[in-house]
Amino acid sequence: MRGSLVATLAIGGLVLGCSRDDRQDARTGTAAGAGAPAVSDVLEGALLVDGKPVGSMQCRPGANVHIFVEVATPAGVLRFEDQRLSWNGEPLSCTRLDRSWGGGRRPDGTAYWRGTLGFDCRAGARTYAGDLRLDCGAITAEERAQLDAQRARLRAQQADDAEPAGSGAN
């Protein structure tokens, strides 16, 4: 279905889905700006607003100064950008914001985003909680390989940084 849900998944009675940019190169049939066929988007997990699960979700990656991702729901839009969450444009105050992600902007202006978000937040009296795994923007095999290499480098760096001084091999 062009421009509609690409992937759906039932979790605990919820139907989850991700939208994607269906622009394709007429010559190759691949996603616009990509060199290899794209993989369907994925959105897994739970998003609670005031303790109640949202009915459906769609993920939308984008790019301003920073790469961002939005999770659109019937109740509103959650946005992660520049290490912060907001709901319908209102910044959230979070007691937990666990994130691991990577993404990019293509030459044609489209974006992709892959990662996880775990959070417990509030704005006024309203609460927002979730544990999500997102793979959005029709990521190509080449982009996926770049994200995997970037993740491996970051994890190696984190392991090196965590090693106590003087514990290296002689």
Which pLDDT value is given to residue 10?
A: 30
Which pLDDT value is given to residue 26?
A: 34
pTM, two decimals, is 0.69
Which pLDDT value is given to residue 126?
A: 96
Residue whose C-alpha is closest to residue 23's, from 105, 138, 144: 138
Which pLDDT value is given to residue 165?
A: 64
Which pLDDT value is given to residue 41?
A: 82
What is the C-alpha separation between 4 and 92, in angstroms, rounded? 29
Which position has the token pair 């760096």? 157
Q: For residue 126, with 0-12 CB atoms within 10 Å meaning exposed, 13-18 middle and 19 or more buried, which class applies?
A: middle
| Residue 77: both structure tokens together | 């839009």
Residues near 143 by beta carbon (within 8 Å), at least 6 away in sequence = 34, 104, 112
Which pLDDT value is given to residue 162?
A: 80
Spans in the chain with pLDDT lower than 50: 1-34
Which pLDDT value is given to residue 161?
A: 85
Per-domain residue ranges of the chain:
7-162
Which pLDDT value is given to residue 24?
A: 41
Q: Which amino acid is at 147?
A: L
| Residue 151: both structure tokens together | 């993740």
156 φ, ψ (degrees, to nearest 5): -65, -40
Which position has the token pair 């979790």? 11
